[in-house]
Each structure stands twice: as C-alpha cells, then as structure tokens.
Amino acid sequence: MPTQTLDGTAQEGRQWAAEMEAGRGGDARLLAAAKRGHSVAFGELFNRYKRRIFHLAQRIMRNHEDAEDVVQEAFELAFVHLRDFEGSARFSTWLTRIAINVALMKLRKKARKVELSIEEHSESEDLSFRDAVTDLAPNPRRSACAKKDREF
C-alpha cells in the first residue's frame, strides 16, 4: 500500500492508475504522469504511438530493421528529453519530429559509408578497383627465380 505524502503524489498515482484502467487517460494526463516519473504512463504513450512512428520511419528508411531502430531511438530520446517538452505542440507532433530527425541522421550516416566492391568495374574506366590498386611491378621472388632460370 502506497504511503501518503505531503504533496499527495501517492493518492494522485492511484487516481491516475484507476483512470488508465478505465481508459480515460488522455495524452496530457499521461505526459504529466510520465514527467513525474510514472514509467507506466510513458509505456502507454509508447503503445499509442509506436505504430504511427514505425510506419513513418519505414517510409523514410525503406527498411524494416532500420525503421525499428528509428522507433527505438526516437522513443529513447523522447523519454530522456520529456522534461523539455513544453506542450506548445501536441505530443504526437513532437515525437514525429524526433523520429524524422533520427531517420534523417541515420540516412546521412549511411550515405557517408560508401561501399565499393573490389570486383566491380568503374564506370569511368574499364578497370576494376583490384586492377587499379594491384602493383604491377615484378614480384621479388619471381624476379629471383627468373634470374636463376636464366643462369642455367
């Protein structure tokens, strides 16, 4: 049984939990409770918005696994910065903006990681990367063997 505190947080917590069970918890109440440290409230916000954020992330990332990563990182950032949310916009708008920023950052990082196949031919030349970096100078071992063969 929770203990009653001077500021009434225990009673408020029971009231909030009862309203959640009755299905009357709006975003504003959930946000207020989450800001006060009720992890169940943030869990409810997650359950309400995870699908919407996932679909948004999937449209941006075009990859299921990357979209899941975006959802996780977006909610993590929202949780960490929840106290910074002022309420001038709806929570869903704020969360959507976080998810978009996370997805765009991931795309930028992917763009910087250009993969080049050693076997692929270059578009500008008719050489593969392997041919371009292969040292065509005589191999010292082959040179020694060839010299030895010429001596006999």
pLDDT of residue 136: 67
112-130: per-residue pLDDT in tens? Answer: 876 656 565 555 555 555 6
- d(C-alpha 110, C-alpha 63), whole Å: 12
- d(C-alpha 124, C-alpha 138), whole Å: 27
72-104: per-residue pLDDT in tens? Answer: 999 999 999 999 999 899 999 999 999 999 999
Give the residue among 44, 15, 39, 36 at the shortest CA–CA distance from 4.
15
26-49: per-residue pLDDT in tens? Answer: 889 999 999 999 999 999 999 999
Question: What secondary structure does DSSP assign to 6-25, as a single string?
Answer: TT-HHHHHHHHHHHHHTT--
What are the phi and psi torsion angles at 58 (to 5°)? Answer: -70, -35
